[in-house]
Structures are given as structure tokens and as C-alpha cells.
Amino acid sequence: MDRIFFYFSILIYICERKTQIFANTMKNRTTLLLLLLLAFLIPLNAQPLSRIEHYSIDDGLAQGVIMGIAQDAKGYMWFSTWNGLNKFDGYTFQTFKAKSGDGCTLDDNRIEYIASGKYNRIWCRTYDLKAYIFCPETETFTDVLKSVPPKEAQVRRLTTFKNGVIWLICDYASCFRFDETAYKDSAKFEQYSIAKKNIRGDTIYNIVQDSGLDEWILTNKGATIVGKKQIRSNLPFCHLREVNGEIWLATLDGQLARYDKRTGNVHTIPLPIPSVEISALREIGHSTLAIGTQKHGLLLYDISRESFQTIDLRTPRQPSNEVQTLYTDQKDILWISTASFGVTQWNHAQQKLSYLPPLPSRYTEEKYNKAYFIFEDCYARLWIQPKGGSLNLYDREHDRLQSFHDQTDDDRFALNTSTHTYFPDRQGNLWLNTSSRELEKISLLQTPYTISDLGIETRAFLYDRAGRLWVATKDQKVRIYDAKGKLIGYLTKQGQVASSENFFKANVYCIKQLADGSIWLGTRGDGLFILRQKGHDAKQYEVEPTNTILLNRIASVITIFTPFSKTVVRTSGSVVLVEGSIW
């Protein structure tokens, strides 16, 4: 496996150096990337081509126990450890923590949880239950609840939403709302508590955001909505899901209700089994609500027919009828974690229940036996760590779990240590902290594109971290395709991605993406172009002028590469180190 990946990397490197030679011999054929991928596709029954990178304290990691992982908008990776906060730029680790006499407000270097905010600031919760914002620009920690009495500022949970709203849920039915959009340069907050008389209960179950961006504080004496909606009910809802635009709520003691957006009223739906304790709520498709119970298995409510179906989860190999968590994948398969080891699957379209036991694992630790996670990455690969097992990929074709292997398909090289922290990044990599006390980065080689004849010579290509393919051709066009191979549009010199056919009006000979997410285009005759995406708009880029006189006068950029976190541009007559001296 490593050997295949090594040879593939060699060929990619050669193509970057000799793109014109290859292109001249491949006129009127598909892009170099497609040809290389097709040439190296081999039958692999267990998993796709992969590479696993291992990082430890010897590589600069602050500590072997990683409690949280996050990625900021610039693409940098962040890790919270028992000895400070780590930033990883793709090459080196940088550690941030309190030191004696440095005036840092951070009281405890044991950081339990982190999340990336809207403006790249890192929100941290420490072992002593305090909350901090870390600012990468100033490299400082700010105690965001310093002005709050300590009794009310014991942070138990930290919840972030994509629109820049952060909630800190504390002891004594107190919670704090931060809006990074409204207060970008400060840590202003609104407090919600029984004492403030702006929430109803003294136990906060959860805070969730609906599709209308209203926030629901779910408590033991009713819900409070922060936003435009209102609710006229004191039922102690602890679960909320949206199905086809409708909001559904459920209580722990078995009450299911539909929310009326127009009136704010809720309409309860009697369950077919009395005295049911609801443990989870999830949607299947656009018309079915899955209700997990603590003793009575799974209830399925057909919204259009207003009818229930009861599913007993017990099988000869799986004796539990207790639902602990529910997850619906992109194929509308429902995954159920019970009190037993392994994982249970419900295929609603086929009305089929399956139990998948954990695969044998030699290196799992007993204390992680109950650890369970499931998620799909940006390529719709389903990753599962079932209870009692280790990391698995789900093989949809054969409907089975498969061990993830490090080097080959040989079971002797299976990555079967227990995982207690995981994070899928936007580039499709999976980051794990395992019982081996190492950080693992798993990269799977993707082949999402089909053959297409562009009818023109290809001179450069880039497979970026968002899964998009950039193709520069002889006719001075730069085409951009999405992760499924569909044409997004044509890049212009102004940084726009036009949906209609457009010319870049420069001969692009190399394309490179740097660690900060910027995309560099080297041309023949027009110098260097540096693109930075504007916010979250994938069709609009800022075109930065090069800041070196020599670069602006470059006639031909042959190669761009990034050793030791520096950017080097090789031209037809010289080599330029962008950050540093000019050679």
C-alpha cells in the first residue's frame, strides 16, 4: 500500500516538474490527473489507496492525550491536549499555553474541548471548567466569563453554530450567548438563567438551532426561543429535529409533538406504547421520524400517513432493545447504537434490520470498549467505531464492516487501536487520537472523476482541499470541477468563477495550494497570481498582487513548492524564495 502511494506521489511530482512534456504527448486527451488515477487503480477488496501519518511528542505535539480537534477557516488544524493548545500548519506544531510570569489569563493548561469560531478564533474549555478565546493573531487567551461570579461560570458544555453564535452551558441553570458577528473584536455576551427570568427551567437539556437560525433552549420546564419564533408550551422537551421543514419535539417521558410555526402552539401525538422513555430522535428521508426508546426499541412515525411502526431490535446475537443513539446516513440508512457491543442497522426502504458485530481487535483497551462514533466524511465514506471494536470503514457493496489497514490488506497491519477523539477535516482526511497516545492522520486517495475529452492540451491541474479539480489548458482557460466531476465554471483574472465559458487570458503552467488555503497560479508571460477565497463563496476569489518586484517580472513560472513552511517559485532562469531572501 505504501509502495503504491509512494510511486503515485513520484508521478505527481514528475508531472509538476514536466507538465509541458507530458501535455505535449497527451494532446486532445483527458487531464493528466485522470490518466494517472486510472493507471493506478487496482482492485482492493478491503479499502481504497491510503496513507497514514503518525505524529507524537517527538514531532512537536504538546502531549499524547488529545481531548479535542478543530479546523479553522484557513485550514489550520488545532488540538487541545493536557499540556496546552497545538496548532498544525501541515509541517510543524506550535504550542500555546500559560507559563509562569507571562501574564496569561489561562489558569490550567489541560484543555478539554475546543471549537473554531467564525473568525478563526479558537474557543476552549479547560479542565477547571473555565472558557477562553484564543486569538491566533495576538497568541493570547481571554477568560470570557471573568466578570461572572465563579459559581455561575462553571462551563460544562460549549456549543457553536455556523452563523457565529456560541453558547456556554454552565451549572445552576445558567448559560451565556456570544455572537461573534455582532461583537467580532470583543467577548460580549447575553446571560440566560432562572435568576434573569429569561429561561423556564433549572436544568438545561440542550441548545439547538433550527433552519431559520432561531435558537432553542430546552429545559425541564419548557423551551425558550432566542429569535423570531415563540412557543406556547411548558412541556419539558429535550429533543428537537426538523423533517421536511417541520419542527418535531420530544420529552424524556414519551411525549411527541409537532410545532406550529404560525401560532407557536404544539400538537402532541399519542405514542402506541404507554410510558415510553424517549432517548433519541432522528429523521429518515422527508416523511419518517425515528424515535429511539430506552426499553421498547425503535418507533417509526410515518408523518404523511400518521401511523406508527414498532421495531424490536433484538436478534440472536444482539439482546438489547435499548436505543442510545441514532444516526441517518446519506443513503437514509438508520444506524442504532444499543447497550450491546457492535452496531445495528435499519434499512427503511427494504424494511430490513441487521446487526453488525465488532470485528476482532487485538489492541483495544477495556476503558474504551464503550466508545462509539459514526459519521460520513466529505466523500460520503461511512466511518464507524462500534462498541467493543476499533475503527472500521463500512463496505456498502457487501453490507459489512471492514478493518482499516495501515500498510496492506494483511490483518497484521490493521489499525485496530481504540479511538477516543476523532475529526474529519474539510479535505477528506480523518484525524484520530488513539489509545497508542499518538495522533493519526488518515488520507484516502479519491477518484471521483470520470473520463472526459477536453479537446485541448492540458498544461496544469490541481486537486484542492475542498475536493475540486482545477484544470488549466492551452486555450488559456482554467476550468474548475466539483468533487463529483461536474463543471463549476471558468476562472477569470478578476477572481470570479463564471458559469459560462470564459478565458483566464494567461498561459497557466502550474497550480499549487498552500497550507493557508491560497491557490497560486504560475504563468508564462504574465507572472504569478495568488487567489484567496472570499468568505464561504467558492465562486469568488481575491486576486492578490505579488509583493516581490522580481516575481512581477517573471516571464515563466515552472514550479511552486513549499518546503519548511516557505514558498519557493522556480522560474525559467532563477529560484525565488517568497518569504526570505531572493536567490
pLDDT digits (tens, 9 = 90+) for 373-410: 898 887 778 989 898 888 888 988 889 998 765 554 44
User: pTM for the complete prediction?
Assistant: 0.70
Query: Beta strands 111-116 and 568-571: pairing type?
Result: unpaired
d(CA 243, CA 213) in angstroms, rounded, equals 16
Most confident by average pLDDT, 373-382, 471-480, 518-527: 471-480
Query: pLDDT (tens digit, 9 = 90+) per residue, 435-453?
Result: 778 898 988 765 544 545 6
**CA dist 439 to 120, 465, 541, Å?**
22, 20, 33
Residue 548, pLDDT above cutoff 70: no
Q: What percent of the chain has pLDDT over 90?
A: 47
Closest CA to 242 of 283, 285, 301: 283
How many Cβ atoms from other residues are within 10 Å of residue 214's Cβ? 16
Query: pLDDT (tens digit, 9 = 90+) per residue, 196-249?
Result: 999 999 999 999 999 999 999 999 999 999 999 999 999 999 999 999 889 999
Q: What is the pLDDT of residue 44?
A: 37
Residue 385 and residue 392 in contact, taking contact as beta carbons nearer than 8 Å: yes
Q: Which residues, listed in sequence order, are joined to residue 70 by a DSSP beta bridge? A: 78
Query: pLDDT (tens digit, 9 = 90+) per residue, 104-155?
Result: 678 889 999 999 998 889 999 999 999 999 999 989 899 999 999 988 899 9
Q: What order do you get walking across the sheet with 215-219 strand by strand? A: 204-209, 215-219, 222-226
Q: What is the pLDDT of residue 397?
A: 85
